[in-house]
């Protein structure tokens, strides 16, 4: 009887911003959760079906081949929201990564620490089937169909782990600063720099493909029907070879197509850039980057200042 009551209570499904199950988890302070698969409604599965169907031709045309191979390796069902346990069954043997269900936003240090441990915080809700282009926050399509196929590639997965290690370096550096105001100022600047670098690479990165062709590997591009074509074809988009000094000082806004994107040569190139980012951090070059987006929340700041790091 209790099971029946739970199903009735959450009969609205797992729709982004409209899920009682997620609201209850957040109210209870549960960040890491189990995917409640039985709560997905037919509308939720229909949203996944529509999103997947319209993206396939775009992926074929604009995505990096490693991404398309990742879609195959994960054996994603184009008609049903995936079970994370099934995703992990295919993913973990390839690179050691696994999708980890969360109820919502993960504070910055915890997010990067998950990457360091080869865990990817994954949203379980999905956008409305009649609002496919409106995404107020990440959903399971963005996370599983946008991010996770790249996690099947060893070089890319190792780069994500390096991001996690860099976050530990940042926490170690700022926890050694005695003055609280200076500590907060330096940490805020470092978080901005790392967030911008992550945004312009992992989320919205472009790469040189065969014969110099530009392809997309960033998940924000690979999960967006409109922007994936726009980022490659539109003359309105500025595309430049990546330079760290540009990226860490370049603010971004999340509510429109990106007007400026950066190109890396390969995943080995990206990995080396993360190494350089850490080197610059140790040298103090990230301590005073330009102001502007993203804003650093109190939770993100605290997550670094009070992080538990191995000495």
For tokens 């540009």, the residue is: 246
User: Residue 133: its pLDDT value, please?
Assistant: 84
CA atoms within 13 A on the CB side of 44: 23
User: Residue 1: its pLDDT value, please?
Assistant: 39
Print pLDDT tens along the chain (311 aa). Answer: 344 444 444 456 999 999 999 999 999 999 999 999 999 999 999 999 999 999 999 999 999 999 999 999 999 999 999 999 999 999 999 999 999 999 999 999 999 999 999 999 999 999 998 888 867 789 999 999 999 999 999 999 999 999 999 999 999 999 999 999 999 999 999 999 999 999 999 999 999 988 889 999 999 999 999 999 999 999 999 999 999 999 999 999 888 899 999 999 999 999 999 999 999 999 999 999 999 899 999 999 999 999 986 55
How far apart, in whole angstroms, are the C-alpha atoms of residue 147 and residue 36?
21
User: Residue 310: its pLDDT value, please?
Assistant: 58
φ/ψ of 101, rounded to 5, equals -65, 135
How far apart, in whole angstroms, are the C-alpha atoms of residue 311 and residue 212?
44
How far apart, in whole angstroms, are the C-alpha atoms of residue 130 and residue 180?
48
What the chain holds in terms of domains, given with CATH numbers, is: 2-305 (1.10.800.10)
């Amino acid at each position: 009887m209790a099971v029946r009551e739970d199903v009735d209570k959450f009969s609205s499904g797992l729709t982004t911003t409209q899920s009682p199950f997620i609201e209850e988890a957040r109210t209870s302070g549960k960040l890491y959760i189990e995917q409640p698969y039985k709560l997905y409604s037919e509308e939720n599965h229909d949203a996944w079906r529509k999103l997947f169907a319209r993206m396939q031709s775009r992926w074929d045309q604009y995505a990096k081949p490693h991404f398309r191979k990742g879609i195959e390796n994960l054996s994603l069902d184009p008609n049903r929201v995936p079970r994370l346990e099934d995703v992990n069954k295919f993913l973990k043997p390839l690179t050691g990564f696994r999708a980890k269900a969360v109820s919502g936003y993960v504070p910055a240090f915890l997010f990067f620490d998950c990457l360091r441990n080869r865990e990817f915080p994954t949203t379980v809700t999905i956008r409305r089937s009649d609002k496919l282009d409106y995404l107020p926050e990440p959903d399971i399509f963005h996370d599983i169909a946008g991010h996770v196929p790249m996690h099947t590639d060893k070089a890319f997965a190792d780069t994500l782990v390096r991001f996690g290690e860099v976050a530990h370096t940042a926490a170690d550096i700022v926890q050694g600063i005695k003055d609280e105001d200076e500590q907060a100022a330096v940490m805020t600047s470092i978080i901005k720099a790392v967030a911008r670098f992550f945004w312009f690479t992992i989320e919205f990165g472009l790469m040189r493909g065969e014969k110099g062709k530009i392809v997309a590997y960033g998940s924000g591009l690979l999960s967006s029907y409109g922007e994936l074509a726009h980022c490659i074809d539109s003359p309105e988009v500025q595309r430049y070879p990546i330079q760290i000094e540009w990226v860490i000082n370049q603010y971004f806004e999340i509510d429109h197509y990106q007007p400026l994107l950066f190109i890396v040569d390969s995943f080995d190139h990206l990995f080396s850039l993360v190494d350089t980012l850490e080197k610059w951090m140790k040298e103090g070059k990230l301590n005073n980057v330009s102001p502007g987006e993203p804003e650093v929340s109190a939770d993100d700041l605290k997550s670094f200042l009070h992080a538990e790091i191995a000495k």
